[in-house]
Amino acid sequence: MPNEGYENPLCKRYASAEMQRIFSDDYKFSTWRKLWIALAESQKELGLDISSEQIDEMKANVNNINYETAAAYESEIRHDVMAHIKAFGDQCPKAKPVIHLGATSCYVGDNTDIIVQRSALLRVKRLLITAVSALYNFADKYKSLPCLAYTHFQAAQPTTAGKRASLWIQDLLFDLEQLDFSLGSLKLLGCKGTTGTCASFLSLFDGDHEKVKSLDIKIAEKMGFDKVYPVSGQTYSRKIDYYSLSVLSGIAQSAYKFSNDIRLLSHLKEIEEPFETGQVGSSAMAYKRNPMRSERIASLARYVTTNALNPALTASAQWFERTLDDSANRRIAIPEAFLAIDAILMLMINVAGGLVVYPKIIEKHLNEELPFMATENILMHCVKKGGDRQALHERIRLHSIEASKKIKLNGEENDLLDRITQDKAFAVTHDELNNLLRAEQFTGRAKEQTEEFLADVKKVLDENKEFLGADIKILV
């Protein structure tokens, strides 16, 4: 039965169950409860009258979230955090008096947002490393396969298929550097209070500043962080969200570039994304093999790239120590950015791991252009044999113009080499020209560059081997 209401396609069609779990209500509200427990434990350790029995009661109900009770409270009091405090208190009558003691809503809300973003970024890192690995294998396999390179999508000096893939990998490594920096920079908000001054906690601890400072650190350690932001308003700076989504935007840009290259190569019939046995490319044109996975990457990547504007505007629009015009925007922009990049990277892994290469078509396209690219080599060869450089240059220019006309106007094959061998001024044979036109002579250091680069990539993969092997599932 179809759902009568709107369903987010990022959840229904694109993102993984794992990323959806990270942004689920269960993950969110169980983390709220873990934060309340960490607060109570830390307060107890610092001398407040909180019993082990109260803490054990809270721990017993971490994942036993009474959603209906919380919803009923929220419909009455119109405050989600207070609703869940009351619902948790109903399950923990002994602990009820100390739940959320001294804290403000952002204690659970903002700290949970940081924890969720860290979990989501770790998922993204696993996908990113796996994508790099898939492209590493492709680049290594085809590092020596000559192919036409393009500038302005016009034929230029040849490269190799593996060297081209190294450009895709390098972009992802740039993204990995930014992701690692963002992950390493994440800190917990801690317990800063209503305006970030810790006034309520200072009152609880009878003016003991050292205990209040220790409370921050203890909570962070219990939640898996070694640092807290030293100053804040009621919330952590919304620039943190911008930094996280900027990382995702960077990955989206890299994936977009990759997908565009695959779409162009598919048009050229040189390299195609995987195509299932029973897959239909077009409802009308049965022969078509549309690059729909790459197109989906491009489509989602546009969304992620533009979505990075949301936290930028939110961060700049905050008033003094707290304003609530961030909340609704963040509830949508942050989860959807992560869900979309999750889908993008799963698609990228799938495409990169199943690319189909057609060497004969690649060779055909290369041979169509090599005669023009080899004209300087031909000229130098014939000059060494005693020819007049200036005169031969003019002859090659004229022959190139005529050969181009026949190709463009009549759709004929490139006959430049025939023209040169038939021109007595050059005194050159087809065998000599064929030797000059060996494709590997025109790819420069493409193979060597790829080998050297992949050696460095291998080090990165080895350093991050625990992130290799992300489970992916895509609907095509």
Contact 338, 23 (CB under 8 A): yes
DSSP letter for each residue of 114-174:
HHHHHHHHHHHHHHHHHHHHHHHHHHHHTTT-EEEEEETTEEEEEEEHHHHHHHHHHHHHH
Q: Which are the contacts of 13, defined by CB distance < 8 A and separation ≥ 6?
A: 475
| Residue 344 CB burial class (10 angstroms; 0-12, 13-18, ≥19) | buried
Marked catalytic residue, from 51, 185, 203, 282: 282
Ordered alpha helix ranges (H), 155-238: 161-185, 199-204, 209-222
Measured on CA atoms in the order 473, 136, 141, 143, is the torsion positive or negative? Answer: positive
Predicted TM-score of the model (pTM): 0.92
| Residue 214 CB burial class (10 angstroms; 0-12, 13-18, ≥19) | middle
Tell me the one-letter amino acid at 184. Answer: G
Does the annotation mark 294 as catalytic?
no
How crowded is residue 22: how many other Cβ atoms within 10 Å of its Cβ? 24
Q: Going by CATH, does the domain composed of 375-436 fall within 1.10.40.30?
A: yes
DSSP letter for each residue of 19-45:
HHHHTSHHHHHHHHHHHHHHHHHHHHH
Q: What is the pLDDT of residue 415?
A: 86
Which tokens hold the place of 139? 């680049």
Terminus-to-terminus CA distance in the chain, angstroms? 21
What are the boundaries of each domain within the chain? Answer: 375-436
Q: What is the pLDDT of residue 283?
A: 42
| Residue 444 CB burial class (10 angstroms; 0-12, 13-18, ≥19) | middle
H or E segment at 243? helix 239-268
Intervals of the chain under pLDDT 70: 1-3, 276-288, 476
Phi, psi of 311 (to 5 degrees): -65, -25
Marked catalytic residue, from 52, 75, 152, 283: 152
Which tokens hold the place of 333? 């922009």
Of the candidates 360, 363, 382, the one whose C-alpha atom is nearest the C-alpha of residue 433 is 382
Nearest-5° Cα angle at 31, 214 to 8: 140
Alpha-carbon distance 165 to 137, whole Å? 10
Contact 133, 457 (CB under 8 A): no
The DSSP call for residue 310 is H
Does the annotation mark 244 as catalytic?
no
